[in-house]
Amino acid sequence: MPNFLPINTILVPQGAEYKAVCRGLSDITGFIPTVVAIPVGMKPLLKYLQQGQFLAPSRVLIMGICGSLSDRYKVGDIVLYQDCIYQGKRLECDRTFTAQLHSALLTPHSPLPTPHSPANLVKSLTSDRVIWSAAEKRRLGEMAADVVDMEGFTALEFFNAAGVAVAMLRVVSDDCQHDIPDLTPAINSDGSLNPFPLAMGMLRQPLAATRLIRGSLTALKVLKQVTSRLFSGNRLE
């Protein structure tokens, strides 16, 4: 089956998100894009990209999970970024590439396992730390952003400068109504996760941790399925 978009490279935060995307591609025949596990966070990602560890592609799809800043977007919702905001600066994703992905996800095939629209066009905010409190999520949502992650703006700035078209597709893993554990201390300077601070952060807020785990599992399931859909010639088997 041909790669119908086409997409050369997928960048996904390392760990569970990377594994979900790889599982989504595991049964695909024909051309499969290169999947690259990237560090978590803005500074580690920039350092990684500047090292040039992979050949410059013509198109990059960034995938993963994100947090909602709006009541409109629930756990399991698929979102396509229109742009990314960081400290008042705004960068647009490639419009043509994004429109092609949006069209592919709106075709009338078996629905993905999400109760809402299969492809929401959103405005995103990039943060250099975990946005964990519901109050801060809602406050940030009032600044004209719908979702938040920790890599989007950095990737967009880097690849825009290199003339590479970028689209971003993520799945919501936590809503704006509830706190999640503050896991910022668990992120190492190289963008990897430190298991001990991660466990401690979870133990300090067990209810929030349970909610985060449940939401992440839902989001990862959808992430796997949307990956499979995109690269199986836009069909769900």
pLDDT of residue 56: 63
Q: What residues pair up with 148 in beta bridges, in sequence order?
A: 67, 125
Q: Mind listing the pLDDT tens digit for each residue in 97-152?
A: 999 999 888 765 444 544 445 689 999 999 999 999 999 999 999 987 999 999 99
Structural tokens at position 10: 């997928």
Share of the chain above pLDDT 70, in %: 89
Residue 53, CA distances (Å) to 12, 15, 38, 56, 102 in order: 15, 18, 11, 9, 29
Could you give the CA distance from residue 175 to residue 66 in angstroms, rounded to a whole number?
9
Per-residue pLDDT at 111: 47
CA distances from 120 to 91, 114, 116 (A): 18, 12, 9
Q: Are 64 and 191 in contact (CB under 8 A)?
A: no
Task: Calculate the average pLDDT of the chain.
Answer: 87
| Range picked from 25-29, 111-115, 128-132, 183-187 for highest mean pLDDT | 128-132
The mean per-residue pLDDT over the stretch 202-206 comes to 83
